[in-house]
Structure 1
Amino acid sequence: MQNEGKLFESNYPKSFRDLVGKNGVITLQGDQQRKLHGIASNIMRLDKLKLHFLDDIQLVILQTLNFHDNHVILLQDIAINLMVNQLLGVSTESEINEMAQLFSDFADGCLSIPINLPGCTYYTAMKAREKIVSKIKRTIENQRQSECAGNGVLGRILNEENLGDEAVADFIINLLFGE
């Protein structure tokens, strides 16, 4: 089964591929997939993450505790908020919460019946994907215009790798989905 895509290739339904993107680690095969796996392994190395990781965990937990104020706190909310913070370099509470909600809508659609009509979960997921991609591309553009190293995994991808904006957006979505 580990014959590098020569004997067996993974395949997903078109509806799932449309959600996660054609340039994602999940949907690519062969050399392209190995390249993206290598990028993910390099970027997610402990020495690169630990620089600000503990500070980011503290920030996200404090924001979550302040926001919920005596309500039930779900660990999945903290995990999603932390992933949004780490992957996109987003740190404001409103941006984190917005991206977390979009991602939640997106993830729900990955496990739904692929009916792309308003009111259906899959439709909501496709709209959430469009908004996530738009926000990622806007963040990419802002980082390129400011010519400063961006925060998070997205900033490191832009600084260290030569990928197109669509491939970067699909890559970030796949990393979020893998969370």
Structure 2
Amino acid sequence: MGLPIIGHSLGLLKAMRTNKGEKWLQEKVRKYGPISKLSLFGKPTVFLHGPAANKFVYTCDGNALANHQPASIRRIIGEKNLFELSRDDHKRIREALMTFLKPDALKQYVGRMDGEIRTHLNKHWEGEQEIAVMPLMKTLTFDIICSIIFGIERGRRRDLLAQLFQKVMEGMLSVPINLPFTRFRGSLQSSAKAKAIIMELTHEKREALEKQGSSSNQDLISCLLGIRDENNLPVISDEEIVDNAFTVMIAGYDTSSILLTFLVRLLAKDPSVYAKVAHEQEEIAKTKGPDKLLTWDDLANMKYTWRVATETLRMYPPVFCSFRQTIKDIEYGGYLIPKGWQVFWAACMTQMDDNIYPDPSKFDPSRFEQGTKTPFSFVAFGGGARICPGNEFARIETLTMIHYLVTGFTWKLSTKDDSFCRDPMPAFNQGLPIIIQQKSSATPYDA
């Protein structure tokens, strides 16, 4: 089980930071099979591997397995977040979030997301220059979430939140020892400050709604405030609103920016894929005037581009591992997992299994022309009742940004070192520097 409290935590974190996390776990599978035990982040833990394990976790009865993140994540995000809740509370919060994040509701936000992306490109990508992709993609996803999730205009408060979120992310997956100068202490302090800003924002939006000076559909926080039961009482408390707005922010901030960064790298290294994506997007651009925003129907026509994005997620998943906790003694694969144990699995490992995806290191978007053949083998957005509620939000964000990039720019890598590590999310060592050149005929991204 490893050292007291620390267990195997430092070994796993070190492997992830040197981009060897999957090899570290594969060695464990080689030695002990698809079910084994260890200690992680202060908890006795069982490690599960394979499509059957993915299916077991994603479809398990809520009375047997509960959402239960490592103490570092739970204390930084808050106890009332969706990833921590189970049973009726999970259902209530998820249904509330889906009021805002379901496709029918998101259609009205395509134009706002389009506008944020145009503004970002005008500010950061114009002309011929060298830029670092990953920091700029993080700036973009942060601005989109601030606008659509929080309803925060550009200015001092948004800038402060950006600084705080950077610190929050640094200690999300760490040994939860609250001592000075540790990553965990820094993230915990930044989380408290960020959540105070979100609580203040929640109070402001409630006051605006009560005065009927604003719409409950203008952002996620306003939407959650506007949800009432049959007695006209709030369905969600202020603390739940703050914790879950914070959760959506964290879930969307890194994941979408990572996918977009890997797509930029792919399109720079594979001219044939770039040509096909560009052709699809230019055909859509021909139907638009320079001032016409993208629509939901335009996104539906970006089929090849989304297959490219899906294959990118298969090979380079932003989220490496996840956790649950047993509510009672349960049996799996002939073993008894005791009540209170942590269940740990790296669902994405099945996405590089050559028994499921032949030649898994080869980039091949055609794999997803007919969907996934093996259930629970592609789980970039989770699965079952707990599939990521923000998957459509991410799709809109990704397709819209790629549309304006390939119709407005060409680019090439400006470094031979395009490697990355996981800390715990993928991070490029140099931020992925590229040299961009604006297409002379490009007008679609003009604000």
Q: Same fold (TM over 0.5)?
A: yes
SS at match of 2:163: helix
Question: How do 1:130-145 residues align onto structure 2 when only pairs under 5 Å count?
Answer: 130-145=192-207
- Once the two structures are TM-superposed, the CA of residue 31 in structure 1 deviates from its matched residue by 0.9
CA distance in 1, matches of 2:250, 2:197: 16
Does residue 9 in structure 1 map to residue 66 in structure 2? yes
Which TM-score applies when normalising by structure 2? 0.37
- Match for 1:173 among 246, 251, 257? 246
CA distance in 1, matches of 2:175, 2:125: 32
- Residues 57 and 106 (structure 1), Cα distance of their counterparts in 2 relative to 1, 3 Å cut: farther
SS at match of 2:85: coil
- Once the two structures are TM-superposed, the CA of residue 60 in structure 1 deviates from its matched residue by 4.9
Whichever of the two has the greater Rg, that structure is: 2
- Residues 124 and 135 (structure 1), Cα distance of their counterparts in 2 relative to 1, 3 Å cut: same
- Residues 90 and 57 (structure 1), Cα distance of their counterparts in 2 relative to 1, 3 Å cut: farther
- Once the two structures are TM-superposed, the CA of residue 22 in structure 1 deviates from its matched residue by 0.8
The superposition leaves residues 45-72 of structure 1 with CA deviations (integer Å, 9 ceiling, x where unpaired) of 2232232332244235414642677543
Letter in 2 for 1:124: G
- Once the two structures are TM-superposed, the CA of residue 41 in structure 1 deviates from its matched residue by 1.8
Greater helix fraction, Structure 1 or Structure 2: 1
CA distance in 1, matches of 2:86, 2:100: 20
1:121 alignment partner in structure 2: 183
Question: How do 1:24-39 residues align onto structure 2 when only pairs under 5 Å count?
Answer: 24-39=81-96
- Residues 96 and 68 (structure 1), Cα distance of their counterparts in 2 relative to 1, 3 Å cut: farther
Q: Size of the alignment, in residue pairs? A: 179
SS at match of 2:66: coil
Q: Where in structure 1 are there 5+ consecutive unaligned residues?
A: none
Letter in 2 for 1:46: P
CA distance in 1, matches of 2:156, 2:118: 14
2:102 alignment partner in structure 1: 45
Q: Where in structure 2 are there 5+ consecutive unaligned residues?
A: 1-55, 229-233, 253-447
- Once the two structures are TM-superposed, the CA of residue 77 in structure 1 deviates from its matched residue by 2.5
Letter in 2 for 1:3: C
1:89 alignment partner in structure 2: 151
1:58 alignment partner in structure 2: 115
2:132 alignment partner in structure 1: 72
- Once the two structures are TM-superposed, the CA of residue 154 in structure 1 deviates from its matched residue by 0.7
Moved more, 109-118 or 28-37: 109-118
- Once the two structures are TM-superposed, the CA of residue 34 in structure 1 deviates from its matched residue by 1.4
2:166 alignment partner in structure 1: 104
SS at match of 1:9: strand
Q: Do 1:105 and 1:124's aligned partners in 2 also have CA atoms closer than 8 Å? A: yes
Letter in 2 for 1:86: I
Q: Do 2:206 and 2:222's aligned partners in 1 also have CA atoms closer than 8 Å? A: no
CA distance in 2, matches of 1:125, 1:175: 17
SS at match of 1:110: coil
Q: Do 1:43 and 1:153's aligned partners in 2 also have CA atoms closer than 8 Å? A: yes
Moved more, 61-70 or 19-28: 61-70
Q: Do 2:116 and 2:143's aligned partners in 1 also have CA atoms closer than 8 Å? A: no
- Once the two structures are TM-superposed, the CA of residue 114 in structure 1 deviates from its matched residue by 2.2
- Residues 76 and 4 (structure 1), Cα distance of their counterparts in 2 relative to 1, 3 Å cut: farther
- Residues 17 and 137 (structure 1), Cα distance of their counterparts in 2 relative to 1, 3 Å cut: same
Q: Do 1:143 and 1:155's aligned partners in 2 also have CA atoms closer than 8 Å? A: yes
- Residues 60 and 95 (structure 1), Cα distance of their counterparts in 2 relative to 1, 3 Å cut: farther
Q: Do 1:4 and 1:30's aligned partners in 2 also have CA atoms closer than 8 Å? A: no
Letter in 2 for 1:72: A
- Residues 57 and 175 (structure 1), Cα distance of their counterparts in 2 relative to 1, 3 Å cut: same
Moved more, 12-21 or 32-41: 12-21
